[in-house]
Chain A
């Protein structure tokens, strides 16, 4: 299994909690315990569990009612529940299945059987989440293909037809303007296609991941060179404040994609004649790269959806530039592939800072710290 799992155990008998905790500790999961329904409900507001092991017979609110409450109002509405019931408690055994428990652990139990069942349900849950992700990706793809790839064609087809039919009636300046427009739309669309393809190959594990020593400054300079015309069109100045000694241990193609997406986003959301600042801070064995714009910023709601698939987050830029909200998802995947993380700090009207971390190149660790 890839990531560390979280398991919640709910039982009113402390000795049971201790026993289960001890047994499940072998599985290398993060274990949380709670001895009543209220406490469990509170925990469920904060932590998303991969599995919940809930005792049915508890004084006051029993395990089944507790599960109903958790499902109704918490982030764990679809987390699988295994109910624990005394072997001879036949009524509660059938109640537990009716309430949608994925399985029942009867007491007394055999520890190896308990662990095997937990393992099976953790795997099933992981597969379920993965499948949902795949379905979301497909949906997103279809959505993008249907809408976002369609609209640039309207522009391209409309203007090429206009030019073809009335070529003689335009002067040179007008022709240049229309051709530039067609070019810009094509370039944007091409960028989107590249992102889509990268994403697809990454999802199918066909994208080679080969981290090597990469000079961050060099990649940034190249990226800015490519972005210059777009930035110039809005009279935006890109300031790169990054030490050229910083060497990352990164896949440079992925790094380029991350930088390209974040900088082009920054341009998109920054009003004309403002600045974008790219800076980097060396931490222990990672480097934090920050791309700050003085743009329109975003609300907490938008922020929370930014890196998630299946959520429509695309917002037009300050000059009505179109996007798909796909670039950030790709950035997130690429950063995670490096073992890093990405986050956003933003306030409406005050601009946004996109901050991501990537590992430093090993040999440079000591040097970079100085």
Chain B
């Protein structure tokens, strides 16, 4: 990963559910903010503030995504939720082991991309295969 290169969104990461994609984009922007501050050699206070923001956004996004899965009766809801718990565990371990900030950045980036590509993409597949329409609250209309 090139610390000098801005992290930008790639079309292949879109899972096709607008709101989830939107949240993923914000998440990626946060990761890029961290990259930028590491590049600038910013103080630990600034870095830890951004790490905390990433953490908080991850929590928000996971609950948001889990709610969505619940509303669409996603069959692997439990497994997906567990994957989120494990991600939080891994983030916790990684952020306390920061000897090398670039390593932490890379970890968070990989952590996000890996989950998005492997797990979240299954949601789209499920919707397509089952001809389901999606919505963000139980019983409400289409998005």
Contacts and interface: CB of A to CB of B under 8 A. Distances in A.
Partners in one complex: yes
Contacts of A109: 92
A86 B84 contact: yes
Nearest to A20: B96
Range of interface residues on chain A? 10 to 19
A57 interface: yes
A86 B83 CA distance: 11
A88 interface: yes
A319 interface: no
A87 B92 CA distance: 11
B78 to A, nearest CB: 11
A86 B89 contact: yes
Contacts of B95: 108
A235 B104 CA distance: 81
Interface in A83-110: 86-89, 107-110
Interface stretch (A11-19, A41-49, A130-138, A145-153): A11-19
A13 B91 CA distance: 13
A89 B66 CA distance: 11
B85 A57 contact: yes
A89 B93 CA distance: 17
Interface string B36-67: 00000000000000001001000100110010
A111 interface: yes
Given A88-B63, A108-B55, A19 B93 contact: yes
Contacts of B89: 13, 16, 86, 107
A226 interface: no
B88 to A, nearest CB: 5
Interface centre among A13, A107, A108 (most CB of B within 10 A): A108
Contact of A86 (B85, B96, B97): B85
A16 B81 CA distance: 20
A222 to B, nearest CB: 62
Contacts of B55: 108
A75 interface: no
Nearest to A110: B52
Contacts of A108: 55, 88, 91-92, 95
A16 B93 contact: yes
Contacts of B85: 57, 86, 88-89
A110 B81 CA distance: 23
A244 B15 CA distance: 90
B104 to A, nearest CB: 12
Interface centre among B55, B88, B95 (most CB of A within 10 A): B88
A363 B59 CA distance: 65
Given A86-B85, A88-B84, A23 B96 contact: yes
A40 B63 CA distance: 32
B88 A19 contact: no
Nearest to B61: A88
Nearest to A23: B96
A15 B93 contact: yes
B80 to A, nearest CB: 12
A103 B85 CA distance: 19
Interface centre among A23, A57, A87, A110 (most CB of B within 10 A): A87
A23 B55 CA distance: 20
Contacts of A88: 59, 62-63, 66, 81, 84-85, 88
Nearest to A13: B89
26 contacts: A13-B89, A13-B93, A15-B93, A16-B92, A16-B93, A19-B93, A19-B96, A19-B97, A23-B96, A86-B85, A86-B88, A87-B59, A87-B88, A88-B59, A88-B62, A88-B63, A88-B84, A89-B85, A107-B88, A107-B92, A108-B88, A108-B91, A108-B92, A108-B95, A110-B52, A111-B96
Interface of B: 52, 55, 59, 62-63, 66, 81, 84-85, 88-89, 91-93, 95-97
Given A19-B92, A88-B63, A88-B66, 6 more contacts: A13-B89, A19-B97, A88-B81, A107-B92, A108-B55, A108-B88
A-B residue pairs, 4 tightest by C-beta: A108-B92, A86-B85, A107-B92, A86-B88
